[in-house]
Amino acid sequence: MEDALFDLDQDSSTDFAFWGQMDTNIQFQAQLDTLLFDCTAVTGQLSPWSSLGGQSIFPDAPLTFTDPDSQSPGLGAGAEVDSSSSVDESHETMSTHKQRRFVPHHPYKIQRHAANIRERKRMLSINSAFEELRCHVPTFPYEKRLSKIDTLRLAIAYIALLREILLSGCDPKSYVDECMKNGYKNQTDAIWNTSGEHNKLAGFGSSSPVGDIDSTAVVAGPTAETS
DNA sequence: TAGGCCATCTGGTCCT
DNA sequence: AGGACCAGATGGCCTA
């Protein structure tokens, strides 16, 4: 499934300047997705990572297994019990700082650990979807990576804009030019700026943002605030 | 240093 | 019963 999502990414043949610069994490995530899938295929494995034969595919990430009963007190306060339950987390994120450990011995912990893996996998697929959405949402090249919330808001605003352009029946470029002259105000009261200060530059304030729909440009770094 | 963002864990609920 | 989904809690990283 994730593979399908990534395939779609490659299909995006838009002229906009989207957040196309998939950071290096994307490749990593793709790898991780694959890994998680592989792990799922290994039925009966309590720990998917164990199928790696204890060898981390990430050389810099030490794979540590610890007896749950002998956790060091400093480990993952938040996840209490399960600082033990997680697989070597350097597999999951770039955060090398998080060192959680895995070795579920009790049936409950085994189940819990399996659920954790499923949850992680689910979140990965959600993140993949967010990544794909980022690629379809126009931003300025200099804009930093959109956060999840900004991605959603911008998508909402962008869809609203496209819808209005369609309904107007006008040429997109003229429509946007008109908007720029008279000020853009869509029906949904979407506000075109992101939460970040840097994004205030974005939007209809600059030269011909959406106007370049057919050429190159970037639309904005919007935020659809419906409040 | 505070705040934003994010990943992960966890327990509860709903669904198949 | 097991899995999916969800929201709260927690802690790390990054930036202003």
* Nearest nucleotide to A76, CA against C1' atoms: C11
For residues A156 and A146, what is the distance between their CA atoms, to the nearest angstrom?
14
CA of A205 to C1' of B16 (A): 51
Q: Can you tell me which residue has its alpha carbon closest to the C1' of nucleotide C16?
A: A197
Rounded to the nearest 10 degrees, what angle do helices A148-168 and A107-136 cross at? 40
pLDDT at A105: 62
Quick one: tokens of A80?
A: 């209490």
The residue lying closest to nucleotide C10, measuring its CA against C1', is A78
The gap between A161 CA and B10 C1' (Å) is 40
Residue written as token pair 């008109």: A178
Dist CA A135 CA A132 (whole Å): 5
Coil vs helix vs strand at A177 = helix
Question: In this predicted structure, what is the pLDDT of residue A124?
Answer: 85
Token pair of A103 as six digits: 């070795």
pLDDT value, residue A8? 31
Q: Note the pLDDT of residue A193.
A: 56
CA distance A168 to A174: 11
Please state, in angstroms and rounded to a whole number, the distance separating the CA atoms of residues A191 and A172. 19
What pLDDT was estimated at residue A113?
Answer: 82
Per-residue tens of pLDDT for chain A, all 227 residues = 333 333 333 333 333 444 433 333 434 444 444 454 444 333 333 333 333 333 333 333 333 333 333 333 333 333 333 333 333 333 333 333 333 434 456 777 777 888 888 888 888 888 888 888 888 888 776 677 888 888 888 888 889 889 989 998 888 888 878 877 776 655 445 555 555 443 333 333 333 334 333 322 334 333 333 33
What is the rounded CA–CA span in Å between residue A169 and residue A61? 56
What does A94-116 look like in DSSP terms, one character per residue? S-SS----B---SHHHHHHHHHH
Residue A180's pLDDT is what?
A: 74
d(CA A210, CA A202): 11
pLDDT at residue A69, as a whole number = 35
Amino acid at A28: F
For residue A35, the number of C-alpha atoms closer than 13 Å in the C-beta half-sphere is 21
Q: To which residue do tokens 């033990």 refer? A: A84
- Find the nucleotide nearest A78 (Cα to C1′): C10
Quick check: A96 and A63 in contact, CB under 8 A?
A: no
Give the list of residues 6+ apart from residue A170 with CB closer than 8 angstroms, or none.
Answer: A178
Which of chain B's bases lie under 7 Å from a protein CB? 4-12
Protein-proximal nucleotides of chain C (any atom < 7 Å from a CB): 3-7, 9-13, 16
Residue A121 pLDDT: 84
Tokens found for residue A68: 């749950």
